[in-house]
Amino acid sequence: MSAQQSVLLIAGSPSEQSRSSALLDSISHRLALRGGLVVDRLNIRELPAQPLLLAEWGHPAIVKAIDQIARAKAIVVATPVYKAAYSGLLKVLLDLLPQSALKEKTVLPLATGGSPHHMLALDYALRPVLQALAARHILPGVYATDSQVPQAADKRYEVGPEITVRLDDAVLTLLAESFRLPPPTTGFEPVHFSRVRCSV
């Protein structure tokens, strides 16, 4: 499958299980329903810490991560919001990228935070960095509060109904902008909570 039909999901949470990763899992499920797309995933927390922090561009894991980004036509990046900014883990990766790393790419940002007050982190912290990396089109982001992605009894996170609807719309926009794909005639298959629980 060519890069023109590929989507890369970037998980910026340092935690194995997180609300932002739950959003990313939900997006992944929706993309898989369409078929015909290559959906890849980059969990930044799995990259080796030393070469990531010391900007060792020649390290095989770093080379692979940058190549994943280069080959994708569309990018979905998910991050928790800490102190009104995206995660430090995501920042370290973005700082490693070439200035034109997102050229000709459509980017969908996702974020989670403790309260609605952190919503502006998408526009005032993350979006300028994505623009600086020459993203062709940055879609309106989806921000979810803790209460909108509650934790179940088994400690996994579930995407609530309000955010589910917004993710449906975000994926349709991503497909239309990146691949000129029309919306499905019957809409997305209903997604039960048990199918969108976080598993990084």
CA dist 18 and 6 (Å) reads: 24
Specify the CATH class of 3-195 in words: alpha beta
Q: What is the pLDDT of residues 68-107, one digit of tens each?
A: 999 999 999 999 998 888 999 999 999 999 999 999 999 9
Q: What is the pLDDT of residues 105-136, one digit of tens each?
A: 999 999 999 888 778 788 889 999 999 999 99
Helices (H), the chain: 19-34, 49-53, 60-71, 88-96, 121, 127-132, 161-179
* pLDDT bucket at 56, cuts 50 / 70 / 90: very high
Rounded average pLDDT over 161-190: 81
Q: What global pTM score does this model have?
A: 0.87
Q: What is the pLDDT of residues 154-168, one digit of tens each?
A: 889 999 999 999 999
